[in-house]
């Protein structure tokens, strides 16, 4: 039998980690900061691992603490969704969708803003996750996920047709004109986004180059792009993620070689189910924007 930590410890840690503050977590849960601190300390003793670094300038999550926060938030989200499904009817006038965090930030938000300008009365609930779940939960109308476009019991509509190619801040080129040679990539820090089928090795084979392993990896594309924008290295970009930055000149493509992505982003809904009108309106808007 699994010996899980007491729920009070988990709730205290999740709130403290989310706020990075015992005081704000206490305000949220209606207890004192000292009580939150005591619960977190008890959880650390229960797990045998430090979850926070307690510094003079404030709290900071350890790497293990950050990973545990992700696990707990997913568990609490599922518990909340299950409670709503069993005991509360979902409001059909509100559109609920789930999307990976990186795609939400890099693609969806701009299109959602345009939709809301034309539909100011629309009510939309967006849930984000780091990774795509296998099943489509009952508390969402549709989902945007990455893959090859085939999931049992789901209808998938393509949103992106991505190509993969290196991008970097203009300063990194140092006045050189693209395309650059192999020596440029050998001298740069390579930035990798986890979770996709292809990465630097696949692009390097397509370009006929031998490259060192990436030295920076992120599980969220938006963080990787921030590092590229800051001139911290060369990122293997996806068309749908980097197109606005290329258009603005904040990123440049140092190589002309592009490879086709095996995985793309799809809007998925339950096969054979007719969505409520508000959900159909947003779905059709997003599909129309993707086709432009």
Looking up residue 29, the CATH number of its domain turns out to be 1.10.10.10
Residue 135 in domain: yes
- Give per-residue burial for 263-288: e unless 16+ CB within 10 Å, then b: bbbbbbbbeeeebeebbebbbebbee
218 touches 212 (CB < 8 A): no
Pairing mode of beta strands 234-238, 163-167: antiparallel
Could you tell me if 122 and 80 lie in one domain? no
Could you tell me if 100 and 236 lie in one domain? no
Domain stop point among 39, 64, 87: 87
Is residue 174 predicted with pLDDT exceeding 60? yes
Residue 47 in domain: yes
Residues facing 51 on adjacent strands: none
How far the first Cα of the chain sits from its last, in Å, is: 54
Q: How many domains does the chain have?
A: 3
Residue 183 in domain: yes
Could you tell me if 83 and 102 lie in one domain? no
Is residue 82 predicted with pLDDT exceeding 70? no
Residue 1 in domain: no
Is residue 89 predicted with pLDDT exceeding 60? no
Residue 2 in domain: no
Residue 76 in domain: yes
Domain assignment of residue 67, given as a range: 7-87
What gap in Å lies between CA 148 and CA 81, rounded to an integer?
A: 27
**Tokens, residue 277:** 């009108």
Could you tell me if 168 and 256 lie in one domain? yes
| The pLDDT value given to residue 85 | 57
Could you tell me if 75 and 119 lie in one domain? no
Could you tell me if 169 and 254 lie in one domain? yes
What gap in Å lies between CA 178 and CA 250, rounded to an integer?
A: 15
- Give per-residue burial for 146-165: e unless 16+ CB within 10 Å, then b: beeeebeebebbebbebebb
| The pLDDT value given to residue 130 | 66
Closest to 184 measured CA to CA, from 86, 245, 124, 254: 254
Could you tell me if 169 and 256 lie in one domain? yes
- CATH assignment of the domain containing 249: 3.40.190.10
Provide the pLDDT confidence category of residue 143 given band limits of 50, 70 and 90. Answer: very high
Could you tell me if 270 and 256 lie in one domain? no
**Tokens, residue 129:** 């996750």
Could you tell me if 72 and 140 lie in one domain? no
For residue range 99-129, what is the model confidence (pLDDT) as tens digits? 988 899 999 999 999 999 999 999 999 998 7
Domain stop point among 87, 112, 131: 87
Provide the pLDDT confidence category of residue 135 given band limits of 50, 70 and 90. Answer: low
Could you tell me if 174 and 150 lie in one domain? no
Could you tell me if 106 and 235 lie in one domain? no
Contacts of 152 (CB under 8 A, 6+ apart): none
DSSP states of 216-262 as a string? EEESSHHHHHHHHHTTS-EEEEEHHHHHHHHHHTSSB-S----EE-S
Could you tell me if 71 and 148 lie in one domain? no
| The pLDDT value given to residue 229 | 96
Q: Global pTM?
A: 0.67
């Amino acid at each position: 039998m699994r010996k899980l930590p007491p729920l009070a410890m988990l709730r205290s840690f999740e709130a403290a980690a989310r706020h990075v503050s015992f005081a704000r977590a206490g305000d949220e849960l209606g207890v004192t900061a000292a009580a939150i601190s005591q619960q977190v300390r008890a959880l650390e003793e229960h797990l045998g691992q430090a979850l926070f670094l307690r510094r003079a300038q404030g709290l900071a999550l350890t790497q293990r603490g950050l990973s545990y926060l992700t696990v707990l938030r997913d568990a609490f989200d599922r518990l909340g969704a299950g409670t709503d499904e069993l005991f509360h009817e979902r409001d059909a006038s509100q559109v609920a969708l789930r999307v990976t965090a990186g795609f939400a930030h890099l693609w969806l938000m701009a299109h959602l803003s345009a939709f809301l300008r034309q539909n100011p009365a629309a009510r939309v609930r967006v849930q984000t996750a780091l990774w795509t779940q296998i099943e489509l939960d009952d508390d969402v109308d549709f989902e945007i996920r990455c893959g090859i476009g085939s999931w049992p019991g789901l209808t998938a509509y393509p949103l992106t047709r991505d190509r993969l190619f290196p991008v970097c801040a203009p300063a990194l080129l140092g006045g050189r004109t693209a395309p650059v040679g192999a020596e440029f990539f050998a001298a740069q820090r390579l930035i990798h986004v986890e979770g996709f089928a292809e990465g630097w090795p696949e692009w390097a084979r397509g370009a006929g180059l031998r490259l060192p392993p990436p030295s920076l990896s992120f599980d969220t594309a938006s963080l990787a792009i921030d590092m590229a924008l800051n001139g911290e290295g060369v990122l293997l970009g996806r068309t749908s993620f980097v197109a606005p930055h290329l258009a603005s000149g904040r990123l440049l493509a140092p190589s002309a070689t592009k490879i086709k992505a095996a995985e793309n982003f799809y809007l998925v809904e339950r096969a054979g189910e007719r969505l409520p009108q508000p959900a159909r309106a947003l779905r059709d808007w997003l599909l129309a924007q993707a086709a432009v």
